[in-house]
């Protein structure tokens, strides 16, 4: 078959061209601030941001209490949180779906296939990360900090806020890690959101759908933006951790 | 009404190891009390119990105002302070560290600034007030600890080994600060294992050995 290498070569050139073409079109969508693209990005940030705020509001106090208080079942809760940090998003999606489906206990709320359902699913995903990393930061604080604030006349609440302030960089790292997790997940929101165009379609679910359809421009454009967001999150995490290391280095 | 401390027959054990045995003590106001003893003699535990940071297994620690025995609540705890060995400075500037005790007492900002600056001047660290306390030397951290304790104007100040792990120069500075406080009639209880230091600082010297106050 003397023609075989030539055919492979032509195929590769064609494939490369289609990838390059996809990239060009995707950049054009980004540069021209395509309305559909912006809508998807905004919804993604809105859903993940809201989930993160809720996770932080519950997770930081929960992590602080678990870190500072001794009570029966504490070890079990810590193990549970650590296990839930690695929860597969599809399992969370299934769990939230069962809760919110018409026959489920929260079905009367009519939240399934709405952005609120997606926020709920992402909150379940982010909460264990925020709470667990907050707990780790708190238990690793030097015990003398707690004792020093007690000897200076702090109330139990003031002791807790002092310790949280001491480990603020560790807690912030946990919050950012939680954001990274929910921004990148696809399984849970696909199940509870339904991927409805213009309503529940976010970056990750759009990438999955458009790739299935062979429509790479939008998928690539969103992929690039997702990578940029992920890169920015990692840079922020690095800066925060470095700042924390510098300030606690002695 | 000034604060009086009466410790009666206290015992303390950790994991069935006896640390304090039948210790009694009464605090005379206006005097610097030094508790001297070797490492492991029980003096730090004794101080922590006196400062209400720990409870004894047996015996009583009572604070009196006149003839009234005071409740061991946050109001009483805020009338005294204990400087721990190692201090435990917060990840904040020297100024914020010293201001901590005043801030949690909801004292006005202008008063905090005035009192903190005055104390930082007293311990010779006013020029470092905007530096992160964690970046200071161990001697300077110890002085921040003393300033942080002094600024709240406690009625009893407990200092647990204030010059341990501090160089000679800072030891002298800290001893001078304590002597100045003594001159001002500030009530202080100090622990140390250094005999010369004990004799230099004490109005009243107590010696601890194997968990007992022997003299």
| pLDDT tens per residue across span B87-139 | 889 989 999 999 999 999 999 999 999 999 999 998 999 999 999 999 999 88
Contacts of A40-45 with CB under 8 Å at 24 or more apart are: A40/A201, A40/A202, A40/A203, A40/A206, A40/A222, A41/A203, A41/A222, A41/A225, A43/A115, A43/A200, A43/A201, A43/A202, A44/A183, A44/A202, A44/A203, A44/A204
DSSP B137: -
C-alpha to C-alpha distance for A67 and A77, rounded to whole angstroms: 11
SS3 B155: coil
Helix A168-184, helix A115-139: angle, nearest 10: 150
What pLDDT is recorded for position A105?
92
Count of helices and strands (H, E) across chain A: 11, 0
User: Nearest to residue A200, comparing CAs of A212, A190, A209?
Assistant: A190
User: Nearest to residue A132, comparing CAs of A51, A185, A77?
Assistant: A77
Interchain contact, B90 vs A162, CB within 8 Å: yes
CB pairs under 8 A between A and B: 60
Is the CB of A147 inside 8 Å of chain B's CB atoms?
yes
Is the CB of A154 inside 8 Å of chain B's CB atoms?
yes
Is the CB of A150 inside 8 Å of chain B's CB atoms?
yes
Which domains are seen in chain B, by residue range? Answer: 28-54+72-203 (3.40.50.300)
Judge whether residue A250 has pLDDT over 50. Answer: no
Give the tens place of pLDDT for each residue, A89-101. 999 999 999 999 9
Pick the residue from chain B with its C-alpha nearest to A169.
B91
Residue boundaries of the structural domains of chain A: 1-32, 35-248
Judge whether residue B45 has pLDDT over 80. Answer: yes
| Pick from B53, B104, B134: CB nearest A154 | B104
Give the tens place of pLDDT for each residue, A65-87. 999 999 999 999 999 999 999 88
Stretch A188-212: mean pLDDT, rounded? 91
**Yes or no: is domain A35-248 CATH 1.10.3720.10?**
yes
C-alpha to C-alpha distance for B93 and B128, rounded to whole angstroms: 9
Is the CB of A144 inside 8 Å of chain B's CB atoms?
yes
Q: Which of B86, B88, B93, B144 to mutate to test the interface with A (most CBs of A within 10 A)?
A: B88
* Alpha-carbon distance values, A168 to A54, A73, A113 (Å): 18, 26, 36
Q: Beta strand pairing status for B188-192 and B156-160?
A: parallel
Is the CB of A149 inside 8 Å of chain B's CB atoms?
yes
């Amino acid at each position: 078959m003397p023609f075989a290498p030539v055919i492979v070569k032509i195929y590769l050139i064609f494939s490369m061209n289609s990838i390059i073409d996809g990239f060009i079109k995707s950049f054009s969508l980004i540069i021209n601030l395509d309305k559909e693209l912006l809508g998807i990005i905004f919804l993604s940030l809105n859903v993940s941001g809201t989930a993160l705020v809720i996770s932080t509001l519950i997770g930081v106090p929960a992590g602080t209490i678990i870190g500072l208080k001794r009570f029966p079942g504490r070890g079990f809760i810590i193990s549970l949180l650590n296990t839930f940090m690695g929860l597969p998003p599809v399992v969370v999606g299934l769990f939230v779906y069962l809760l919110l489906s018409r026959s489920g206990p929260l079905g009367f709320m009519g939240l399934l296939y709405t952005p609120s359902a997606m926020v709920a699913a992402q909150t379940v995903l982010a909460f264990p990360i925020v709470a667990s990393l907050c707990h780790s930061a708190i238990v690793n604080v030097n015990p003398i900090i707690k004792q020093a604030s007690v000897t200076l006349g702090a109330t139990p609440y003031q002791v807790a806020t002092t310790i949280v302030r001491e480990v603020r960089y560790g807690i912030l790292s946990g919050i950012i890690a939680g954001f990274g997790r929910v921004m990148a997940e696809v399984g849970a929101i696909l199940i509870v959101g339904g991927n409805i165009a213009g309503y529940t379609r976010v970056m990750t679910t759009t990438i999955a759908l458009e790739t299935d359809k062979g429509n790479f421009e939008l998928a690539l454009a969103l992929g690039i933006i997702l990578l940029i967001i992920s890169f920015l999150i990692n840079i922020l995490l690095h800066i925060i951790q470095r700042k924390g290391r510098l300030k606690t280095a002695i | 009404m000034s604060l009086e401390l009466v410790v009666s027959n206290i015992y303390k054990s950790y994991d069935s190891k006896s640390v304090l045995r039948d210790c009694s003590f009464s605090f005379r106001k206006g005097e610097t009390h030094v508790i001297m003893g070797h490492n492991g003699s029980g003096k730090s535990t004794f101080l922590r119990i006196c400062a209400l940071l720990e409870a004894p297994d047996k015996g009583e620690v009572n604070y009196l105002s006149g003839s009234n025995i005071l409740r061991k609540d946050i109001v009483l705890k805020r009338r005294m302070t204990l400087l721990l060995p190692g201090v435990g400075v917060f990840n904040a500037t020297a100024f914020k560290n010293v201001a901590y005790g005043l801030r949690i007492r909801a004292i006005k900002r202008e008063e905090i600034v005035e009192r903190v600056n005055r104390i930082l001047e007293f311990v010779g660290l006013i020029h470092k007030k905007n530096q992160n306390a964690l970046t200071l030397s161990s001697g300077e951290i110890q002085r921040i600890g003393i300033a942080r304790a002094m600024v709240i104007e406690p009625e009893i100040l407990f200092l647990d080994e204030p010059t341990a792990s501090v160089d000679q120069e800072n030891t002298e500075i800290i001893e001078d600060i304590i002597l100045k406080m003594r001159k001002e009639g500030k009530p202080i209880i100090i622990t140390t294992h250094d005999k010369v230091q004990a004799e230099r600082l004490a109005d009243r010297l107590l010696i601890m050995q194997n968990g007992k106050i022997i003299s």
